């Protein structure tokens, strides 16, 4: 048993441009997008024929036939078929959670190299059989006599032909994620103006990142798309101000412009021990330092559905003796501009920090110029399982540019009142 | 040899109808039955062929290919198929298209073709040659990106006739003895599904009744689907520059369960095949690189 813990290097990220729902990837499956992305990473880092320790990843919206999605994708790539793979799923935290699994295995010496990946399609979505029909079909399968089967036929009703389509709704509250966040926005007094500003920044920062070539080795074109389809470099406050509220009723502050659209895409991150990286002539961009998840009771305690990262981050930074302001870059997933702003507000709020986090002083404010400086989900789009990989790949590269020892914080909120956070350090 | 530039791909359904009329025992006005022996005439050229992503996705799904940045190895055959049909159904073509048997198909890909690349397709018939079982017509297809030749195909069609014991034909190594690697369950409507994607509405593939009218007990799987399905098994394992040759053996009567067999032993290439459960051969293939 290995008793020492090794440093985990992040060697590079890769993704396909993110498409809007029913856009250019409408006919592409999760396996198509994931295989393409993995192969682009393989080709970028010369991993053809390589047997990696493990490929870990997942999708949030998954057809039952995709039970072994990551392994089946690996088998379609140029990686050695001797590379094992597994699926994980934690809603929008899937991609980051996959990286935590790979990092932990590398740290403990169980594997020397691995890929964390994620994918989602909202276009090629799994449509299920109506729940009543499903029950009927299963009963028919269990029936032993023809008489029983005929009797079951009489239970067939026209409504059973309506399919079950996946919905963006919290199972225990019946509210959509947008509805939940509208409540959070109201409670924290997040203004329309502040949300629109964050959205414009997200588009402008991402457009600038493409312009300066930052994305060149992070994004590979796919099915006619070279940049994220959702990206609007000419986004402006005036344009966003014209949009009608999408959540929170007629007085709501959340619009289609300051909420992420449903999207399709995939991402992957190559991680390894320092020895493996050196042996393969690959230079670490950053190190995966630590991670922390948290969850809130959004059902009974009326906590913000997407505010769990507000709880995870203090635990994470305390463990390393860091203050919230000690980071050179913050990558906070923008599910909704309101959720990002409410999270920042919570860390600045003495009452929240005292009563909910049990701290004598608030965590404080962060320098806004350090927040999502290369764009966020509002600009890029957010294929659920792919966002974690996008964040890690871009942050690792950015920290490498900033220099060894620089620190980055990743924070991702997820359905079910969960949050996943991590610290990276520039190499 | 004249190059004929087409403004758009011909409609394969119309060509199939023409093939059907050409097969009638009586001459049809305007579709003269006068058939010359010379087919090494025209080169049909279709420029600016963009990959239709919807058709590509449907083709990939049906054959088992992953939809990646590069098109599948057998893809350019699909946009070129209408040109091939136009040659085969040309009134000057010496044999009626109905009754020609696709007996072998060789593809060479010089480099991967990205879905975003625009192709120029050229199709022509080579001179007819004697074959042990009759007369063979090679149909050649080339795909270029700009001037660069990226992909080529030779499809040999056999007009079964008088035996020519002196003639020889290129052979593909038998897949007998290769290891079973996969089992495929092919549905009864596979031919109709493939026809809808590829435009090959030859009645022998569509329905038991239309197949029976042409001498088959049931509808048979398209040979090119079978080849594509086999190469989908190898997707990701092949280099970008690759050649693949297949010989079509016994037709697969639909529906069917068949075995895909493979021999990965040799350095120079991969042998593969499609065989019935009782090991009767449907297809022998060989990949070289």
Check residue A301 and give its pLDDT.
Answer: 85
* H or E element at residue A341: helix A337-348
* A74, closest residue in chain B (CA to CA): B236
Q: Are strands A54-58 and A113-120 parallel, antiparallel or unpaired?
A: parallel
Tell me whether residue A283 is in a domain.
no
Can you tell me the distance from the alpha carbon of A204 to that of A194, in angstroms, rounded to the nearest whole number? Answer: 15
Hey, how many other C-beta atoms are within 10 angstroms of the C-beta on A66?
A: 20
Can you tell me the distance from the alpha carbon of A355 to that of A362, in angstroms, rounded to the nearest whole number? Answer: 11
Confidence bin at B54 (pLDDT 50/70/90) = very high
Can you tell me the distance from the alpha carbon of A234 to that of A249, in angstroms, rounded to the nearest whole number? Answer: 28
Nearest to A206, CA basis, from A197, A194, A216, A215 = A215
pTM for the structure as a whole: 0.90
Q: Looking at chain A from residue 182 to 221, which residues have their Cβ under 8 Å from any Cβ of chain B? A: 220-221
Can you tell me the distance from the alpha carbon of B69 to that of A237, in angstroms, rounded to the nearest whole number? Answer: 36
Nearest to A28 among B67, B235, B236 (CB): B67
In percent, the amount of chain A with pLDDT more than 70 equals 99
Please tell me the distance in Å from A314's CA to the nearest CA on chain B: 42
Check residue B26 and give its pLDDT.
Answer: 43
Confidence bin at B36 (pLDDT 50/70/90) = very low
Active site residue A413: yes
Check residue A2 and give its pLDDT.
Answer: 60
Tell me whether residue A301 is in a domain.
yes
The answer to whether A27 contacts B69, with C-beta atoms less than 8 Å apart, is no
Can you tell me the distance from the alpha carbon of B190 to that of A278, in angstroms, rounded to the nearest whole number? Answer: 51
Check residue B29 and give its pLDDT.
Answer: 42
A188 CB contacts (<8 Å, ≥6 apart)?
A304, A338, A341, A342, A345, A346
Matching residue, tokens 């009974």: A300
Q: A119 pairs with which residues across the strands? A: A266
Please tell me the distance in Å from A78's CA to the nearest CA on chain B: 5
Check residue B2 and give its pLDDT.
Answer: 76
Tell me whether residue A163 is in a domain.
no
Select from B68, B197, B231 the residue whose CB has the most chain A CBs within 10 Å, as the one to mutate to test that interface: B68
Matching residue, tokens 């997200």: A202
More confident site: B91 or A2: B91
Tell me whether residue A228 is in a domain.
no
Can you tell me the distance from the alpha carbon of B259 to that of A311, in angstroms, rounded to the nearest whole number? Answer: 55
Q: Over chain B, what is the mean pLDDT?
A: 89
Low-confidence ranges of chain A (pLDDT < 70): 1-3
Matching residue, tokens 């190299």: A113
The answer to whether B69 contacts A40, with C-beta atoms less than 8 Å apart, is yes
Select from A43, A70, A224 the residue whose CB has the most chain B CBs within 10 Å, as the one to mutate to test that interface: A224
A373 CB contacts (<8 Å, ≥6 apart)?
A205, A329, A398
The answer to whether B116 contacts A32, with C-beta atoms less than 8 Å apart, is no
Q: Which residues does chain B have within 8 Å of residue A69's beta carbon, measured at their own beta carbons?
A: none
Q: Which residues does chain B have within 8 Å of residue A24's beta carbon, measured at their own beta carbons?
A: 53
Using CA atoms, how far residue A127 sits from A23, A131, A143, A377, B62, in Å, is 18, 11, 26, 26, 19
Sign of CA dihedral A43, A49, A50, A51: positive
Tell me whether residue A367 is in a domain.
yes
Confidence bin at B183 (pLDDT 50/70/90) = very high
B194-222 burial string, b = 16+ CB within 10 Å, else e?
A: bbebbbbbbbbbbbeebbeeeebebbbbb
Residue B33 has pLDDT above 50, yes or no: no
Tell me whether residue A252 is in a domain.
no
Select from A222, A225, A229, A264 the residue whose CB has the most chain B CBs within 10 Å, as the one to mutate to test that interface: A222
Which domains can be identified in chain B, with CATH numbers? 1-170 (3.10.129.10), 172-289 (3.10.129.10)
Active site residue A92: yes
Whether A225 and A17 have beta carbons less than 8 Å apart is answered as yes
Tell me whether residue A396 is in a domain.
yes
Confidence bin at B27 (pLDDT 50/70/90) = very low
More confident site: B20 or A346: A346
Q: What is the CATH number of the domain that holds A354?
A: 3.40.47.10
The answer to whether A27 contacts B66, with C-beta atoms less than 8 Å apart, is no
Domain total for chain A? 1
Check residue B18 and give its pLDDT.
Answer: 64
Tell me whether residue A299 is in a domain.
yes
Residue B191 has pLDDT above 80, yes or no: yes
A241-250 contact pairs (CB < 8 A, 24+): A241/A192, A241/A196, A246/A178, A247/A176, A247/A178, A247/A179, A247/A181, A247/A182, A248/A179, A248/A182, A248/A183, A248/A185, A248/A186, A249/A182
Q: Which domain holds residue A342?
A: 177-213+290-422
């Amino acid at each position: 048993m290995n008793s020492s813990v090794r440093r985990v290097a992040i060697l590079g990220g890769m993704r396909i441009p993110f498409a809007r729902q029913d856009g250019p990837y409408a006919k592409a499956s999760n396996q198509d997008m994931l295989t393409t992305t993995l192969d682009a990473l393989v080709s970028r880092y010369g991993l053809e024929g390589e047997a990696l320790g493990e490929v870990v990843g997942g999708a949030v919206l998954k057809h039952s036939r995709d039970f072994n999605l990551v392994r089946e994708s690996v088998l379609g790539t140029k990686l050695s078929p001797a590379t094992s793979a597994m699926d994980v799923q934690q809603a929008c935290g899937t991609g980051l959670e996959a990286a935590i699994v790979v990092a932990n295995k590398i740290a403990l010496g169980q594997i020397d190299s691995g890929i964390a990946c994620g994918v989602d399609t909202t276009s090629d979505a799994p449509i299920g059989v109506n729940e009543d029909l499903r029950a009927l079909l299963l009963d028919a399968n269990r029936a032993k006599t023809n008489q029983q089967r005929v009797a079951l036929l009489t239970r067939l009703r026209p409504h059973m032909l309506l399919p079950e389509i996946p919905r963006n709704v919290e199972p225990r509250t019946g509210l959509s994620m947008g509805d939940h966040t509208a409540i959070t926005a109201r409670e924290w007094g997040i203004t329309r103006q502040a949300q629109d500003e964050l959205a414009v920044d997200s588009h402008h920062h991402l457009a600038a990142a493409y312009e300066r070539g930052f994305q060149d080795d992070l994004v590979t074109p796919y099915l006619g798309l070279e940049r994220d389809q959702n990206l609007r470099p000419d986004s402006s406050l005036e344009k966003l101000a014209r949009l009608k509220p999408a959540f929170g009723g007629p007085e709501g502050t959340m619009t289609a412009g300051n909420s992420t659209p449903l999207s399709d895409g995939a991402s992957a991150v190559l991680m390894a021990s320092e020895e493996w990286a050196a042996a393969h002539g690959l230079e670490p961009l950053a190190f995966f330092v630590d991670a922390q998840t948290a969850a809130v009771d959004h059902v009974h305690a009326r906590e913000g559905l997407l505010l769990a990262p507000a709880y995870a981050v203090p635990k994470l930074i305390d463990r390393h003796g860091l203050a919230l302001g000690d980071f050179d870059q913050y990558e906070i997933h923008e599910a909704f501009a309101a959720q990002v702003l409410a999270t920042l507000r919570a860390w600045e709020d003495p009452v929240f920090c005292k009563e909910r986090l049990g701290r004598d002083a608030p965590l404080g404010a962060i320098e806004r110029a350090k927040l999502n400086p290369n764009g966020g989900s509002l600009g890029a789009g957010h294929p659920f399982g792919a966002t974690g990989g996008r964040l890690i790949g871009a942050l690792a590269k950015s920290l490498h540019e900033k220099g060894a020892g620089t620190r980055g914080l990743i924070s991702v909120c997820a359905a079910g009142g969960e949050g996943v956070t991590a610290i990276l350090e520039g190499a | 040899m004249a190059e004929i530039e087409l403004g758009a791909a011909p409609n394969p359904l119309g060509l199939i109808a023409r093939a059907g009329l050409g097969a009638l025992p009586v001459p049809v006005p305007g579709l003269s039955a006068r058939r010359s022996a010379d087919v090494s005439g025209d080169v049909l050229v279709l420029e600016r062929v963009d990959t239709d992503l919807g058709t590509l996705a449907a083709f990939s799904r049906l054959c088992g290919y992953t939809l990646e940045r590069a098109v599948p190895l057998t893809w350019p055959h699909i946009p070129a198929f209408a040109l091939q049909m136009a040659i085969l159904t040309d009134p000057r073509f010496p044999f009626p298209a109905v009754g020609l048997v696709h007996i072998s198909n060789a593809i060479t890909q010089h480099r991967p073709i990205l879905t975003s690349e625009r192709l120029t397709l050229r199709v022509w018939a080579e001179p007819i040659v004697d074959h042990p079982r009759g007369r063979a017509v090679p149909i050649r297809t080339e795909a270029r990106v700009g001037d660069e030749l990226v992909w080529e195909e030779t499809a040999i069609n056999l007009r079964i006739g008088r035996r020519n014991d002196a003639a020889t034909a290129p052979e593909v190594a038998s897949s007998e003895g290769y290891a079973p690697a996969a089992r495929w369950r092919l549905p009864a409507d596979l031919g109709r599904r493939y026809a809808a994607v590829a435009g090959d509405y030859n009645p022998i593939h569509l329905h038991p009744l239309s197949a029976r009218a042409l001498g088959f007990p049931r509808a048979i799987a398209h040979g090119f689907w079978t080849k594509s399905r086999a190469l989908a098994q190898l997707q990701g394992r092949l280099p970008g520059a690759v050649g693949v040759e297949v010989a079509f053996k016994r037709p697969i009567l639909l529906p069917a369960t068949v075995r895909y067999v493979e021999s990965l032993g040799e350095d120079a290439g991969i042998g593969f095949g499609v065989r019935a459960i009782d090991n009767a051969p449907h297809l022998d293939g060989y990949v070289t690189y």
